Amino acid sequence: MTDMVKLMAGHGYVLTFSLLFAEAIGLPFPAAIALVAAGAAVASHVLWGPSILLIAVAALLMGDTVQFWLGRYMGWLLLGFLCRVSINPETCILRSAESFYKRGKITLVIAKFIPGVNTMAAPLAGSMKMRFWQFLRLDFAGATLYATTYLTVGYLARDFLAAILRGFHAAGETMEAVVVTALVAYSVYRVVQYRKNRMYRVVPRVQVEELARRLASEDSSRVLIVDVRSHGYYDSGSSRIKNSIRIEPNNLEEEIKNLSKDKDIYLYCT
Amino acid sequence: MLREKGFNTFVIVGGLTAWRKAGEPLESVPQNDLVKLPTFS
């Protein structure tokens, strides 16, 4: 606890701002823990409560504003990126948008407490054309509620936190072993995935010119061009290869029922 | 997966970008295929 208090005394304001801003722009940083630590530092008279609250809210608002405008101008591209870890990115985007729309703008006020929604809320608001000042008002309420809650938890639980930190020191070696094991397991998993995915390299690749020649020949009736883009359809004015059809790559089991094995299938994305 | 199911499948090198650069014909995505986000405005 003493180490943490010293750290907070030296860099508390900068550290809190940086961690909260980083988390608000979508990086995996522990903003809630930073706020709890800052709350404990306030209780220890190392930081001044109103200042740290102001800094926390400012950091969250700035990060969320960046996400809002990125969402406005990058739309589906950004949302697809944020949903990339989902099994079905398109479903992730659509469900998040529907949920956001149905629950109304109040979602922005509570979003920071909900993992996942936290990262999506600001870019969704931007993509869904929410007025900026309205967004700012709601986000200010959300940021203030979030920062106040965790600062208060840290303030009230200072002694409890000290006990936990002592426990962490005692369990340090065990934690190191757990972390090393997790890293090794992750590395093995990546290697297995890499070897598994190598089989996709055997799919023949054709140049545009070669396909264009075939389309111009009498053999063109045996050609089926398939668009497998995930997000390309969602921007108005999107175009695709003439006479191609779309297949939803995340719903392949169902989609292939409509395909004929008599045709050669040419897949493309962006 | 398509190949596993017996479909003769190829991948177009460079995708839509290469197709467009080569000046090959395009068409607009049909309205039925467009999925739009709800908007607050």
Q: How many CB pairs under 8 A join A and B?
A: 137
**Residue-level pLDDT at A45:** 84
- Selected residue with higher pLDDT from A94 and B15: B15
Asked if B10's CB is within 8 angstroms of A265's CB, the reply is yes
The dihedrals phi and psi of A201, each to the nearest 5 degrees, come to -70, -15
Answer whether B7 touches A (CB < 8 Å). Answer: yes
Length of chain A counted residue by residue: 270
**Residue-level pLDDT at A173:** 64
Asked if A101's CB is within 8 angstroms of B12's CB, the reply is no
**Residue-level pLDDT at A94:** 74
Which residues of chain A make contact with B28, given a CB cutoff of 8 A?
237-240
Asked if B39's CB is within 8 angstroms of A128's CB, the reply is yes
Handedness of CA A266, A267, B1, B2 (dihedral sign): negative
Answer whether B23 touches A (CB < 8 Å). Answer: no
Residue A63 binned pLDDT confidence (cut-offs 50, 70, 90)? very high
- Selected residue with higher pLDDT from A85 and A23: A23
* A266 DSSP assignment: E
Asked if A127's CB is within 8 angstroms of B10's CB, the reply is no
- Could you tell me which chain B residue has the CA closest to the CA of A98? B38
Token pair for A50: 């109103």
Average pLDDT over residues A38-61: 90
* A62 DSSP assignment: H
Average pLDDT over residues A24-29: 80
The answer to whether A39 touches A153, Cβ cutoff 8 Å, is yes
Distance of alpha carbon A63 from alpha carbon A20, whole angstroms:
8
The residue type of A200 is Y
ipTM: 0.88
**Residue-level pLDDT at A233:** 55
**Residue-level pLDDT at A59:** 95
Residue-wise pLDDT for A220-257, tens only, equals 889 999 988 765 555 666 789 999 988 877 677 777 88
